[in-house]
Structures are given as structure tokens and as C-alpha cells.
Chain A
Amino acid sequence: MASTKSNLKRKASLAEVYAAYEAQSDDEFGDGLLEGVLEDESEDEESEVGDDDDDDDDVDRDGFGAEDDELASDDIPTDDETPDKRLANGIGSDQEDIGPHYRIETDANGGTRYVYDDIDPVYDSDDTDAQGPTNTIGDIPLSFYDSYPHIGYDINGKRIMRPATGEALDALLDSIEVPKGWTGLTDPATGKPLNLSQDELELLRRVQMNEVPEEGYDPYPDTVEWFTTFEETMPLSAAPEPKRRFLPSKHEAKRIMKLVKAIREGRILPYKPPEEREREEEEEEEVHYDLWADETPRPPNVMHIPAPKLAPPGYDLSYNPPPEYLPTEDEKKSWEEMEPEEREKEYLPQKYDSLRRTPAYDEFVKERFERCLDLYLAPRIRKNRLNIDPTSLLPKLPRPEELRPFPTIASIEFAGHEGRVRSVAIDPSGQWLASGGDDGTVRVWGLADGKQQWRVKLSSEDPVDAVRWRPGQESSILSAAVGEDIFLMIPSYGNPELEQASRDILDAGFGYATNGKQLTTANGAARKDPPAKWSRPGTRLEDEGVLLKITVRSPVKTISWHRRGDFFCTVSPTGQRSSVAIHTLSKHLTQIPFRKLPGLAQTASFHPTRPLFFVATQRSIRCYDLQKQELVKSIQPGARWISSFDVHPGGDNLVVGSYDRRLLWHDLEMSSRPYKTMRFHPQAIRAVKFHRSYPLFADCSDDGTLQIFHSKVVSDLMEGPTIVPVKMLKGHKVVNRLGVTDIDWHPQHPWCVSAGADGTCRLWT
């Protein structure tokens, strides 16, 4: 059937073949034929078919001219014709077309021999490149030529005529008998119906199926083993086999023994599939045993600080707290507005009326996490918290009522001085008050009535800087310092016996005066003038009761008597070398104990019981032993400028006042630093004084006040003295930034007297 079809087709196509291409197709055919002959020997049919296909391709490329050839090759795969048959077929066609190109001769053996014509190899003879009559109209629609007999122009400018459309009968035939490879399409280039050959269809199919387009191509051919297929008979090397080929390896034995050992020891376990191993691991419980079977308590390390426990929950953390713990609206608002770090509590108390309404706590995980961080990140310090009542820190002060008596109010005011009163003193009997002031007078007042009993004007220009009574009840001698002079006087208030006794004491020294002077001159030849001159003050003053005048080199500021009444010391801060002088009343003798002092001497005093002598310079107080003539102690109160000090009647304590507003208590037995520092005054402290019998002392200050302190000194060494401020006495006016200049205590009663810059003295009881 195929053959008939091909015949039909051939008929149809034959009409279309151009004569010009016959020769070319001839050549082709010849080639194919030769090939076919050659291949017949070695290869099978399939390979030949493959070759033919190759040819087909070529023909296709050639275009129209290959039509018949194509037909011929078409037949081969479909009909399984032998090459001979094909050959015959081909020959037939050849013959039909152009006649034979060869002659048949007989060769030497008597067989037939085909002798072909010589091919003239002119330029055009085998032009495979030459294309068919291509249409040169370009890329314009063919419909433009619908009205013309041609459909374009060939390369030579000749018209390509529109192929004659088949007759109606032909068309009918065509429609009845579908030619082989008919597609129903028209080749636009040529205007002919486009037919596809079986091979082309097959090719398309293969391409479609993703196969190798070439038929019969084996992508995986068997390898041809060129060298190993043949066994060599001769060895490559003639060397004899080495010994090691026959002996077991020692190294391997070693390694094996290692493995064996490991297996025996259980280090290498037999293989288990990983799933099984995992399961086993899971099943394996954690081993628990008594970890603390042999516990031994270890003393805690000093450096180890255990983590503090979290505080237990308070009432406000309850899910149903007492209503007073719930925050008010304002508190809630302020809590929410605060930064989370600043909040005092990290939660707001909430109330839920039943347990089922209580929700989860949002911050739970976060709080736990923060605790974890605290545990390993927070530096720990051991802090000692005093868990005591703060009031226990306060000293147990006796109540003011228990500290009585002490002066509380100003009972008498002694007015009369013009200008400031610089110094006051109460006489040892406690009846008289002496005062000296800027007006250069010394006045004696009756303490009980406040009346002026006696008055003397010592100087018109210099003020009276200090007034002191001689201790001892047997006499009534008053000393006063005015400039460089020290006057000793006997105020007269109607007690002639006492006056006489006093006069005797003062006069007793006149016999010694010269002696003393000689002594000093004999000792120190270099010194020309004596440290002091003892003399009568003159008749005017003598009449008034001033009996003795001692003149020293520089203005005297303070006088301090020894308890026996025979010595008194004076201090003149401006006197360089002779600032401190000790005067002996019975011998009219003046001595300068210190040639040099570290700083300006401010005041000096005798110890109340022992032969000690205190000298205060600006910064320190020094204590000298008069008998041994050596420095016993140096006290550093720490004040900038000491104004005054007083020794406790017991002798072991000292109170120091300073211009830098400090009042300092020193325990002489303890250290050179103050035992207590009190700063109750806003202004400088002028004077301090102990009471002789009561546990009281007082200070006075430029702020116009006196402060009374209760000070109990016990003999018990373990207990320090108790100092209690009891009273602040106000009354003096401040004049020119000076308030109270001096104070003195009554020898028997808890009364004190103060001298003010306002020109008055006051008695406080």
C-alpha cells in the first residue's frame, strides 16, 4: 500500500519538478547508491537507514530539487526494501528521467562493469549552495500578489509564476486521496501544499517525546575494553615476591590488639542502630544516690555571701487583700505613669472577689528571670543594717528638772559703767562683785542688792582689761589690769579688820623687793631692766585703796591667781618674750618663765590642786610642771584661736572656748584631742568658766548669750563625763558685734555673773 501511495505521490510531484535540477539530483543519487553498496558489507540495515536519513536532511536543505530523491529514500524504511530493490527503483527513475549516465561493459573476468561518464567539474556542476528559485519579494504579505499571475521574483528578476492550481478533478482527487505526509498547509514561500514525510513526522515525534532526534543513536554504548580483555602472558617485572607478602603485619596486629583491648574494657561497644541507641538513652534514668551520705559540715567561708532570699509576700499581695491596701485612683494613676524602674513596688494590689476570677500574673516569667540574673550577675556586698531603735542612739540625757539648780533668769542688773564692761569677778566670800570696763574704772557692787559700793578710776585712757579677786576669805584684795599696769587694791566697805589684814599681805613684800631685783641682776647680767616694777601707785590712788602697782613691759590682758593667793600670773599677748609673767605677792617678785612660746600666748592658769601651770597659745594649750620645770602635756583642741579656757575643779578636765565658735571639752587623762566638741554659738566664744562646787560650767559669746552646761565628772575611769546643755541665757545686747565679754560663778551658789558690751553686768540666778 505504501508503494502505491508513493507512486501516486510521485505522479503528483513529478509534474512539479523542474528540469533544471535533474542533474543535481542525479549526482546525489549516485552518491547514495555508492554508500549503500559500501555499507552493505559491515553494517546492518539500521545503520544504513540512518545514513539515508542523513541524506534526506541534505536533500531537504536543497529545497525543491530533492523531491524525487526524497521519495526514494522514503520508501526504504517503510517498506524494508533491500538496497538492490531500491537500487533498481532508483535506476528506474533515473532512466525514466534522463537516461543512463553510464555504459555497461564487460570486464576482464567477464562480469558486467558499469562505466560512468566523466563528470565535468565546472563551477556550477555541484552547487549545493545554490538555492532554488527563492522568492525575493521580502517580508511583505503574499496577498499583495493575489491579483497577479506571479507570486514574486527570483534572484534573476524573473517572475516566479504562480503555480498552476490543480484542476477541479485533481483537487477532488486530492481531497479523496490524502497524499502521504499531507498536512493541509501551504508553504507560504512557495505557495505549494506543505507535505511532511514520514521521516520528518518521526523526527517531530521524537523531538516531542524528548528523545534523541536521530533514530538508532545509542547514547550508552558498551565500553570496549582494549587492554584488560587480553591476559598478558609475560609479567611486567621479574622481581621476586617480597617477604612481607607472606608474613602477617606487626603494625596491624598492634592495632588489632588495641581494638581488642578497648572492646574488652568496654570502651568500644558493639554497633547499634542509632534509633535503638537513642531509645536506650532515653530509658536510662538519672542515677540518684545519697549525695550527702558522709556529710561534713564546713565552716562558711568568710568571703562567701549567700544570696539573700526573696521577701515573703505581704498583705497587699493577696488576691483578696483587706480593702485598705487597695490603691486609690490617684495612686493607681501615679503608679502607671511612673517608669517601671522607679516604681517602689512592681505590682499594684488587686482584689478579686473569688478565686476563679484571679488571672495569671503577667510578669511571672520575667520576675523569675530577673531573680536568675540577680543570682549570678548582681555583685553582693555584706551590709550591716542596724536594726535598732534610733532613739537608742541618742544619749540618755538627764531631764532638765533633774539637773537643777542652774541659773535661769537675770535677777539683778548692775548698770553704771560707761562703755563696755570687760571683766567681772565675784569675791571669795560671795558678797561682792568687781567689774572693770572701758571707762578705766573698777567698781565693786553688792551682789545681793546690786548697789555700787566702791569705785576707783585707774586710768583715763586705758580700759580695765581684767579684774580678779585674790582667793582666800582672810583678805579682800582685788587685782586689775590696765594697760601695762597691774593694780592691787583693797576696796573699802566697812570692815576694817579685813582691810588691815589685806593691807598687811600687800605690804609684806616690800622688804623683798630689792632682794629680788638683786637676784635677777646677779643671775642675768645682760638684762638691764627688770621684768616688772613693783611700786606704790601714788597718793591719790593710795587714798582710794589702791596700794600696789606692778608695771610690766606690755599690756596685760588676763590675770589668774594661784589657789593659795601668793602667786598670780598675767598674760600679755603682745609681749614677745615676756608675755607670761608669774608674780609672787609675798616677795614682790616677777618671773618670766618662758623665754619662747610656739605662738602668741592667750591666757594662762594654775592647776587647782597640783603644781601645774597651763598656758594657752592660739592653737594649743601646754601644761608645765612648775617644780620640775618641764612640759607635761600639750593639748591640741583643734580650734583656730583659743580665747579662754578653764580647768575643772577636779583637775582632770579642761574646757576651752575659741573665737571660731567652738567649745571643747578635754579629758586630760585621755588624749590630746577634744573629748567633745560643742558648737552651739553662732559667734565667737569669749570666756568659759567652771563652777567651783556645782557640776556646772558656762560660756559666753559675742551673740549676747550665755550657755549653761551641766557636766558630771565621775571618778570611774570607764565612764566619760556627761555634758548636758541645760540653759541658754539671753539678755545682753550686742553692741558693735560684741555681746558678753566675761563671766564668773558665785563661789557657793549656782549663780553666775556676766559682763556685757552694753555696759551692764547681770546676775543670773
Chain B
Amino acid sequence: MGRIKKKGESGNAKNYITRTQAVKKLQISLPDFRKLCIWKGIFPREPRNRKKASKSASASTTFYYAKDIQFLLHEPLLQKFREQKALEKKISRALGRGDVGDASRLEKNAARPEKTGKPRYTLDHVIRDRYPTFVDALRDLDDCLSMLFLFANLPSTSTVPAKMIARCERLCLEFQHYLITSQSLRKSFLSIKGIYYQASIQGEDILWLVPYKFNQRVVGDVDFRIMGTFVEFYMTLLGFVNFRLYTSVGLKYPPKFDQAKDDEAGELGAFKLEGNLLNGSAEEAPAQLTNTETEAGPDPKTQAEVNKLIRQMRETDVDGDRVETEADKDESIDAIDKFEPAAPGGDVLPQPSHSGSDPESLFANCTFYLSRETPRQPLEFILRAFGCKRIGWDATLGEGAYTTDERDPSITHQIVDRPVIQAAMQEGGDGEDNQTSQKLAANQRMPGRTYVQPQWVWDSINDGEMKRPDLYAPGAQLPPHLSPFVQNTQGAYDPTMPLEDQQTKGEALGDSEEELDEDEADEDDADDSLAVKKIETGADSMDIAQSDDEEDEDGDNDSFGGFSDGEKAADESEDDEQAAELQYQRELEAELTGKPVKQAPSNPQSKAKVEAKKRLAKQAKEEAEEIERAKGMLSKKKRKLFEQMQYTNSKKSAEDLKLREKRRKLEKQKARAKA
């Protein structure tokens, strides 16, 4: 028999200590403890048995793992904190004596990171300690990047020193430069909160959020000291991560920073990357950023002449030219040919979706021009990250454009985000006058150039292919912008799929019934001949409305074309058979009675519907019974679990149901509007 165990000497009682105890043990102030916890990644725990951990004290407290605190005891930063504390004491004592000179001398020794943005200590060892491998650091980069990008966009205040902001901005731009060079940006998403980016570095997916370039409003009580502590750590982390990333692609870190360019809002262009060992292609990108002067060089008059000539030439064979270039492109790309089954019955083999060209060099052959009203920073970053080398923008957007001349003939795509002004629609003879100025009139278009809205860029990179530009033309109603991060699970609502694929049978029935009602209502108004026609089309008159719908959609956008035929056929086949039977029977009856067939055109349909509905209800009831029977065999614990899971699932499916309902309503409205 072992020794009798005493209460409170092992287990939960020993493993957890309260925050007050921890602070006392470390002999530091609470703010210092907070700092230490943030940097070292120490977090409170929930003891398995709270009562035992708190030794039956009823006050609610936070608990820390005792070994975590023990680990903090050996932290070199503790010494720094204590030194700082001693210094503060000395300063306050000098001030109390009235010895201002002494106080100011001591003050010079004190580190005031909250003011200067520069602490006296380094956090290198903390980072090494928290992230033993580089991949570990990458894994934790989400919050780091979101935080630093936010701080890079904050106004400087007393709590957020300007230097800290500048450093954040620099680190972020350096990181972006790496992403551009290594082409590791994968996806991006325009949300109401800001712009989400996803990059894949060494197999780790990193997702971060960048706010839109507006002045950030600070609502509620936000403690910038806490945020500052985080940012201090994140700045060091991103510095080292950047170093490692730069060296991994053979670049020198830190890159050369041109203060003058940065002052003129050069942003990405203010950096000059230098090869570390081999002068690779990395140097080309920044070199091209400085093209502005040479482009702007030629005399405007001659430029205008040239432009005019070019334009005349273009106008003669706009269409032909385009076709030719496209044809050239097709030939030049050694794409994988698309195999489509010629005859039904064969197996379909999966093919890579991107035909030959990397998604990373999606925009490699394009020259972009950003209009004045577009957000330059995200667009520049994304376009560069996806291979675009030549990006020009309006001079008001800042330094570093490939060209600020909107009439540059090499521009292939122009990104505009302004409404079409009706008054300026007619382009008369005033084109001549405009040629002298660099800017074009409000609605004037350069021929041979694609005009798109900014969303086109995002949708293109997310889908890995250039989207059809006509959907994104200026002033057009944009297609919905969908999040590329959603993993579609089986059964969940997916807005990209047609509604008919997703709805349950019951919903479909309800839907068609409604439609039927509407049809009937319509029929009253319509001519008899129309009604007759409907009957002649066959038994499935109830599907007419649907098919109309789809035709309309096809007219709208071709990308949605042709998906629904197969499934619709499958869907219909059952109903068809039934309906056909019914119809046949009715015809027989009609023959017997000698009445015309068209007496009850909608009746059989609705009857079939009702029957189908009944069948569905019965089936559902049977299934519910079955489940109830099986549930009886479960133990109490498992039954609870099962019910809980069912609750969450039903909640989810209820949400989906709501979405589907909304969509159905919207589609119907649309169809009605079309009709």
C-alpha cells in the first residue's frame, strides 16, 4: 500500500495557479506580466476541475499552467523589466526631490517604446523559442500580418508612434515584395471588412486581412498599449521571417529603400531588390518600375500625332486585329488540348483546369492602366504578384507608374471604376481637341483596350483564368463576388450551383406548385389559343416556366450556359412518365365520354403533385420512425450526443433552406421582370 495522498498536493491543485499568484511569483507588475505573456505566448487555461484548482475558493479567476509560469521565471526579459522599473523609480525620486536635471539625465537612459517605437531589448530569443522551426513561424503569421497591415494604415497618435507605423509599413511592403518575386499569392477576396489575401509559402496557407485605405475609426475602448505590445513582437517576427524569405529566393535583406520615392507615395516602388548571390530576374521587376521618365519624355505634340495615326489605323480594322492577336496567342501557347467526349458512354478523365499557363503568370502579357478612382495599392500588388510587369496609373495615384499617360498604346487593360456618364455618351468631333491633352474625356475609350472594373482582377485570379471582360465592363451590373475560401461541403448551400440541383424534393415540389398556381393565374388572362398551345407542348406544361427561366439566364450570361440540361432531363423523366400515364388515361376516358381532352389541363398535374407530395410526406414519416426506433437502441449518452448533432445540423440546414428560399424568390422576380 502506497502512501496516503494528501489533498491539494498533486493534480489540478498543483498544476494550475491563479494570475495573482503568478504575478507574485515573478515579482513583476501586472502590465509587465501581460507583456511577457503576450510575447511568450502564455495563455490562461481552463482546469479540468476548477474547484480543485481554485482550492474551493469561489471567486472566479483565471488560471495559468504552473509550468508555464515556471518557464517564465528564466526569461531574460524579466531582468530588463526590473531594470526599467528601477530606473523609473529613480526618475520619480529625482522629480520628487525637485532635481529636474537629474531626472532628465535619467530619462535619457529610459526606453520609451510607446513613444519612440524602439525598445531597449530585442525579442529575437523569444521568437526562436516560440517557433523552433521556420514553418512554425509561418503557421502563426496570420495574425501577425493582419495586425501589421492594420497598423501600417493607422494614423499616428500619442499611443501609436509614427516610427512604429513607418516600420510596419516597410515590413509589410517588404513582405509584399517577396510575394511578388516568389509569386506565392494565391487568392484574394474583397469583403466588407477589407481585402483578404491568401498566400502559400512553403506549403503553409497564410490568410490575412488588409483594411481599405481609409482613416480607421476607433470605436469602443481599444487599449493601444496591448495592441502595441503585440505589434512590437510581430514586427520583430516579420523582420526575421522576411529575412529568411528574402534569402531563400536569393535576395538581399533589407532591400534598398528610397526615402524620396516613398515620400511621393511610391509604396512598392520605393524598394529596390538586390540579388544576394546571383543577379537573377528579381532585379528586373523594380527596374521596370522606373520607366516613367522615359515614357513621359517625348514631346506631347509628336505623341499626339503618333496616337492619332495609330488610332486611325486601329479604327480601320479593330475587329480583325483582335481576332488575329487572339489567334496568335492560341497558337503560341502550348496548351493542353481539351478532350471532350465525342460519343456518350466513355469515362471522363480529369484534366488540369489551367491550360498550360501558370495561374501565377496570369497577367504576364498584359499592360494595365489604373484609373484615378481605383485603389492602386491592392491592384498593383495583386497584378504584380500575378506576373504583370507593366502597370501604369494616373499621376495622382503616386510615384512609380510604368506610365501615367492614359493614351499609351501598349496598354491592354484599363481598370475603371466610374459610372458611365450619359451626357458624354455621344462622341462627336471633339475627339480632336482631346488629343492634345493627356487625359481622355469622361466616357472616351481607347480602341483596342479592355475596360474592366476592379472586381475583374479579383475574380480572375481566384478562378485562375481571365474572366470575360464584358461582364465587368464599366457601369455594368457586376456578377456576385464570391469568397474563394469557402470549402463547399456536401449538402450545404452553394450559390454557384443552380438552385434545381440543390433543393430537396419537397422544396422542388412546393416550388413547382407555386409556379403552377401562377401559371393558372396567368392563363386566365391569356388567350385561349395560348392555353391550347401549352397543352400541345406535352404533359409537362408545369415545366414551361422553368425552362423559360433558363433560357433567359442563358441570354444573360453564357458562363451559366448548358449546365442544367442533363440534370433537368433526369429530373423530368420521372415526372414525365407519370404524367404521360395520367395523360394517356385521361385521353382514354375522354374518348369514352366523348368530351374534349383539354377540359382538365392543369388538374392532372396538380393531382400528380399532390400525390407526389403525399408520397414524400409518407416517406419522411417512415424515415423519422426508423430513426426513432434506432435511437431507442442508443445509450443515454449517445442519444444526447446524437440529438445535439442533429440540432446543429438542422440549424445549418435551416439556414441553407432560408437561402434557397430567398434565391427562389429572387429568381422568380427576375423571371417575371423579364417576362
Binding site for B on A (CB under 8 A): 274, 281, 285-286, 288-292, 295-298, 303, 305-307, 309-310, 312-315, 317-325, 328, 347, 349-350, 352-356, 358-369, 371-373, 375-381, 386, 388, 390-391, 393-395, 397, 676, 678, 680, 723-725
Stretch touching chain A among B89-97, B175-183, B218-226, B392-400: B218-226
B478 at the interface (CB under 8 A from A): yes
Residue B381 at the A interface, CB < 8 A? no
Contact (Cβ within 8 A) B254 A322: no
B contact set with A: CB distance below 8 Å: 34, 37-38, 42-46, 62-63, 65, 67, 108, 118, 124, 127-128, 131-134, 137, 139-140, 142-143, 146-147, 150, 154, 189-194, 196, 207, 211-212, 214-220, 222-223, 226-227, 230, 236, 239-240, 242-244, 247, 253-254, 373-375, 417-419, 453-455, 477-478, 480-483, 485-486, 495, 626-627, 629-634, 638, 641-642, 645-646, 649, 659-660, 662-663, 666
Q: Establish whether residues B124 and A397, one from each chain, have CB atoms under 8 Å apart when the complex forms.
A: no
**Contact (A292, B133) CB under 8 Å given A390-B649, A397-B630:** yes
Interface of A is mostly: loop
The CA of A397 and the CA of B623, in the complex, are separated in Å by: 13
A187 CB to closest chain B CB (Å) equals 56
A368 touches which one: B150, B190, B481 (CB < 8 A)? B150
Which residues of B are found within 8 Å of A320, using beta-carbon distances?
A: 190, 455, 478, 480-481
Q: B336 to nearest A CB, angstroms? A: 31
Q: Is the CB of B192 within 8 A of A368?
A: no
Pull 26 A–B residue pairs with CB atoms less than 8 Å apart, ordered by A.
A274-B108, A288-B253, A288-B254, A290-B243, A291-B244, A292-B133, A295-B134, A309-B207, A310-B142, A317-B191, A318-B190, A318-B483, A325-B659, A354-B417, A354-B419, A355-B375, A358-B190, A360-B216, A361-B212, A364-B193, A364-B194, A365-B150, A365-B218, A366-B220, A369-B227, A373-B226
Instruction: Name the A residues within 8 Å of B226 (CB-CB).
Output: 369, 372-373, 376
CB pair A393–B645 under 8 Å, yes or no, is yes
Neighbour of A297 across the interface among B46, B132, B242, CB < 8 A: B132
Determine the residue in chain B with the shortest Cβ distance to A357. Answer: B417
* With A291-B244, A358-B190: A319-B481 Cβ-Cβ less than 8 Å: yes
Question: Smallest CB-CB separation from A388: which chain B residue?
Answer: B645
A197 to chain B: closest CB distance in Å? 52
B132 lies within 8 A of A355 (CB): no
Minimal beta-carbon separation of B189 from chain A (angstroms): 6
Are B62 and A355 closer than 8 Å at their CB atoms?
A: no
Q: Which 7 residue pairs are nearest across A and B when measured between Cβ atoms?
A: A360-B214, A312-B485, A390-B645, A324-B662, A324-B663, A394-B630, A322-B495
- Measured between beta carbons, the chain B residues less than 8 angstroms from A358 are 190, 192, 212
Question: Given A313-B485, A379-B63, does the pair A395, B132 have CB atoms closer than 8 Å?
Answer: no
On chain B, the residues within 8 Å of A314 by CB distance are 483, 485-486
Question: Cβ of A318 and Cβ of B212 under 8 Å apart?
Answer: no
A361 and B211 in contact, given A317-B193, A318-B482, A324-B663 (Cβ under 8 angstroms): yes
Which chain B residues lie closer than 8 Å to A325 at the CB level?
A: 495, 659
Could you tell me if B67 and A303 are in contact, using CB atoms closer than 8 angstroms? Answer: yes
Contact, CB under 8 Å: B455 / A355: yes
Residue of B133, B633, B663 near A723 (CB, 8 A) is B633
Contacts of B218 in A (CB 8 A): 365-366
Give chain B residues whose Cβ lies under 8 Å from the Cβ of A291: 124, 127-128, 240, 243-244
Compute how far the CA of A757 lies from the CA of B442 in the bound complex, rounded to whole angstroms: 97
Across the interface, do A372 and B254 meet the contact criterion of CB distance under 8 Å? no
- A381 near B46 (CB under 8 angstroms)? yes
- In Å, the complex CA distance between A289 and B239 comes to 9
Given contacts A291-B128, A318-B189, A366-B219, contact A312 B632 (CB under 8 A): no
Across-interface contacts of A322 in B (CB, < 8 A): 480, 482, 495, 663
Task: Tell whether, in the assembled complex, residue A360 and residue B495 are in contact, meaning their CB atoms are under 8 Å apart.
Answer: no
**Complex Cα–Cα for A285 and B163 (A):** 13
CA–CA, A356 and B247, complex, Å: 38
CA distance A331 to B242 in the complex (A): 45
Q: Which residues of A contact B139 (CB under 8 A)?
A: 306
Asked if A372 and B230 sit within 8 Å, CB to CB, the answer is yes
Q: How far is the CA of A376 from the CA of B233 in the complex (A)?
A: 13
Given A379-B46, A394-B642, answer yes or no on A323-B217 (Cβ-Cβ < 8 Å): no
Expressed in whole angstroms, the minimum distance between the Cβ of A321 and any Cβ of chain B is 6
Whose C-beta in chain B lies nearest to the C-beta of A680?
B632
**Smallest CB gap from A298: residue in B:** B132
CA distance A17 to B239 in the complex (A): 103
**Chain A: which residue is nearest B150 at the CB level?**
A368
Please report the C-alpha to C-alpha distance between residue A285 and residue B253 in the assembled complex, in whole angstroms.
Answer: 12
B196 touches A379 (CB 8 A): no
- List residues of chain A with CB within 8 A of the CB of B374: 355-356
Interface contact B659-A393, CB-CB below 8 Å: no
Given A286-B239, A290-B247, A376-B34, is A397 in contact with B227 using a C-beta cutoff of 8 Å?
no
Q: Contacts A292-B244, A394-B631; is A375 near B43 (CB within 8 Å)?
A: yes
From residue B565, how far is it (CB to closest CB) to chain A in Å?
23
Q: Which residue of B lies closest to A373 (CB)?
A: B226
Q: How far is the CA of A367 from the CA of B214 in the complex (A)?
A: 16
**Distance between Cα atoms of A377 and B146 in the complex (Å):** 19
Selected contact of B244 from candidates A290, A317, A367, CB within 8 Å: A290
Complex contacts, A360 vs chain B, CB 8 Å: 211-212, 214-217
A355 and B190 form a contact (CB under 8 A): yes
Inter-chain CA distance A391–B453, complex, in Å, is: 47
Alpha-carbon separation in the docked complex, A292 to B240 (Å): 9
**Which of A296, A349, A676 contacts B132, CB < 8 Å?**
A296
Point out the residue from A315, A352, A368, A376 that lies within 8 Å of B38, measured CB to CB: A376
Is there an interface contact between B634 and A395, defined as CB atoms closer than 8 Å?
Answer: yes
Chain A residues with CB under 8 A of B247: 290
- Contacting pair B127 A386 (CB below 8 A): no
Bound Cα distance from A306 to B124, whole angstroms = 20
A723 to B635, CA, bound (A): 13
The reply to whether A315 and B649 form a contact with Cβ atoms under 8 Å apart is: no
